[in-house]
Structure 1
């Protein structure tokens, strides 16, 4: 089986005999450890029968990395590089292996071209797999951060809907009692017509300034005193809703003169209960609408149930990204849009490009310490769509710019970033979409420029 492996298939008959004389045989029982993580490697192992389990220490605990069934080559990279072993190898079944010393391996490398090609091909495959593993891990971590932000963003409208629904039960009871009182006191039809018109009157625009809040509080106290003077018990429960709807005591004076105290009390309570129900239903509608907006944006962001490569309105993807990142923008980031709406649809892998917008916008927010102006522009240059994302942050030093898209390179403090966000963006734009990703930095901020061809090469090939 040894010489059937691609690693040794190209050896001459003479070299095969030489190799047989210079290898050692090993038998492991299930559970035996072949090599431990961190140890110095002295031999190149080839597993011919059985299966090895690889594990890595992560956070003081052993985490399973992979299983490697026979036939497979083991530890040649660490041996040739003179580096400590990155994994622990344990027999997952009874195993049979052979080993080669470093001198034997180096002789084969220098004298047998096919052996060298297979060794480097194996090393390249493992590096590529590790690279994909790291990138996938970063994407999952980014998804976790995004999910946490979305959960927080969804919690606000969900809590508003819950509060409004809970308040509706009490408001409905109040409206039921007020309606019954109206019927029993035989309120005049013309007064009921007035109250009904008032109940349908649109509410005024809310003054959210501190001065506006103070004026409303004073108006509520004044209204409550006026209601108290007309025989209302607990007028402070009614006055706030009437003031919020834009009413003042003067409007009720004529009604109070034309109705008995019982009729007037029943009418005002009915009006307040009706206004409360309308307010709560409006809050429920707004909250449910916000939840629907976020869910719709998230579905569009991930391009669920759609083909991977498609022509899309690039602005829709950016807007979906801004919607689901609202939890990071609302603390002090002003978003300015300068879109060229005449820009034609762009052939892209939708969810992957949305990950690019996420990384670039997230990076811009961090550069501004979550307070500043984020400007997003789009226009067409020749056969390319150009999207620019600019921030008003502290900029990027000139000596760092050449390394900006390198994997694991970051200027952020520990725990803030691992240097893969911009690397993933670069790979997606350049390698997946045949585009370009450039950066221009100065004292007034940084601009990332994404160029995407309007005709994708794979689309033209079809």
Structure 2
């Protein structure tokens, strides 16, 4: 800070030049000479070289900064990625006025965390030789009181910055939701897609073997034997799969059948052994059913049976994969609400389930408890936006539990509202923090893990777009986020 003796030693000419320099800045354009002299004594000029950091994301806010010369680059670490938020420059370049950025916004920074008594929400770094006027927190407060003309410039810029940050966060949330959708869909499609690929690759050789064994069996078997084998195969296919079978018993039964079939000359006993074991049919059953077939052609009968069962197993895999893929596509459509009007009547429970499907990779270590009230009415609103709310609330819950714990989803009617309650068993939200969690830019996450706008945007979607409410209650091991939305669908919401 410039000390008093230095200020007093300044010549009248120096004072005039200093005032002229400050008055060229829109923020100070209407300040009186006395106000400018006071500011010059209360603040200090701070030179920065290329790459010097003015303040860092997460640091306590201590100063309001006015850019006198050069350029500041403002960035934020989001999910491990350094994102450029904006540039402040005394000589703005084309493109620096993004999103309707006011010209005055180029010349000062740091006011928001001072007004909220919080921390800096981004990192500011000098680009080239830069000079700033650093105003301590109390000087900033005094300036707003002593110099009312400053507020007329500062407040519109502040409003623009909050709106711009919300737009950026909303766009980021949309990208994150799309990423969640893509990751979840890719993960869930992997199993049925892999099953289709394997079955398609194996089906051709299996059909070749089926043709060869059928030709051989037809040439050696009598009409009665062919009829008996058809009855045997029909009995196998009608026998249901065993439920909750001990894996060790299943393996022993499968090995015993395979050994028995190999002893009788079967070339590929594995498909037969697997199919019988899965249905609880053992070696004794196979021996009794094939006793009516001549010993010399039992091997051909077993090869025909094994080839037929293998081909059927592969077609069953293909048949079951199709509905699984269709179900995933339907869940994706429900999550993104593709090909539907933005405002519509919809089921909140369907949206929750679609969100869980898309987030399944993140929920691998989480126990999910569903407590959905039956016969809930539909609501009218914007399902895609509410799905982003569910994604954010569930993601926060999983983060609070460090990926392990119990997630409870409860739906019920409360008066004229449909309530969605999301509970986690994480470490909880401290009592002094709980009233602030919906404030813009407020976050309890480490730097780089949150923007401080997720719950704020979720609250805006619920309250302004759907006429509802979003509240929280918390204790160690039990945190509830409660969304209430009018069930009658009469709220029009903001455009």
What are the within-5 Å matches in structure 2 for residues 335-354 of structure 1? 335-341=369-375, 343-354=376-387
The answer to whether the 8 A contact 2:442-2:452 is kept is yes
Q: Distance in 1 between matches of 2:298 and 2:188?
A: 44
Q: Distance in 2 between matches of 1:297 and 1:263?
A: 52
Moved over 6 A (4+): 35-45, 57-62, 79-85, 87-90, 109-113
Q: 1:184 to 1:221 in 2, by over 3 A?
A: same
What residue is the counterpart of 2:250 in the other structure? 216
Give the TM-score, by structure 1 length: 0.73
Q: 1:432 to 1:198 in 2, by over 3 A?
A: same
CA shift, 1:61, in A, is: 9.2
Provide Cα deviations, 1:392-413, integer angstroms capped at 9, x if missing partner: 3333222221222234444445
Q: 1:295 to 1:88 in 2, by over 3 A?
A: farther
What are the within-5 Å matches in structure 2 for residues 181-260 of structure 1? 181-188=216-223, 189-207=226-244, 212-233=246-267, 235-236=269-270, 238-260=272-294
What residue is the counterpart of 1:280 in the other structure? 314
What residue is the counterpart of 1:97 in the other structure? none
Q: 1:370 is matched with which residue: 403, 412, 422?
A: 403
The answer to whether the 8 A contact 1:368-1:391 is kept is yes
What residue is the counterpart of 2:328 in the other structure? 294
What residue is the counterpart of 1:132 in the other structure? 167
Q: Distance in 1 between matches of 2:125 and 2:488?
A: 45
Q: Distance in 1 between matches of 2:247 and 2:435?
A: 53
Q: 1:269 to 1:36 in 2, by over 3 A?
A: closer
The answer to whether 1:75 aligns with 2:106 is yes
The answer to whether 1:399 aligns with 2:432 is yes
Provide Cα deviations, 1:46-79, integer angstroms capped at 9, x if missing partner: xxxxxxx996567899969581579955634349
Q: 1:79 to 1:168 in 2, by over 3 A?
A: closer
The answer to whether 1:359 aligns with 2:396 is no
Structure having greater relative contact order (Cα 8 Å, sep ≥ 6):
2
Provide Cα deviations, 1:422-460, integer angstroms capped at 9, x if missing partner: 222222112322211111212441111111123456539
What are the within-5 Å matches in structure 2 for residues 375-394 of structure 1? 375-394=408-427
The answer to whether 1:420 aligns with 2:453 is yes
Provide the alpha-carbon RMSD of the alignment. Answer: 4.4
The answer to whether the 8 A contact 1:408-1:418 is kept is yes
CA shift, 1:89, in A, is: 9.1
What residue is the counterpart of 1:436 in the other structure? 469
Residues 254-263 or 218-227, more deviating: 254-263
What residue is the counterpart of 1:449 in the other structure? 482
CA shift, 1:360, in A, is: 1.5
Give the TM-score, by structure 2 length: 0.69
Provide Cα deviations, 1:265-319, integer angstroms capped at 9, x if missing partner: 2222222222222222222233332222122111111111212222212111111
- DSSP-derived class of the 2:472 partner: strand
The answer to whether the 8 A contact 1:332-1:370 is kept is yes
What residue is the counterpart of 1:154 in the other structure? 189
Q: 1:394 to 1:43 in 2, by over 3 A?
A: closer
- DSSP-derived class of the 1:450 partner: strand
Q: 2:363 is matched with which residue: 305, 329, 339?
A: 329
Q: Distance in 2 between matches of 1:287 and 1:206?
A: 21
Residues 199-208 or 345-354, more deviating: 199-208
Consecutive unaligned residues of structure 2, counting only runs of 5 or more, are 1-24, 33-49, 55-63, 88-94, 115-119, 129-134, 136-142
The answer to whether the 8 A contact 2:203-2:311 is kept is yes
Q: 1:128 to 1:301 in 2, by over 3 A?
A: same
Q: 1:387 to 1:145 in 2, by over 3 A?
A: closer
Q: 1:448 to 1:340 in 2, by over 3 A?
A: farther
Q: Distance in 1 between matches of 2:493 and 2:148?
A: 43
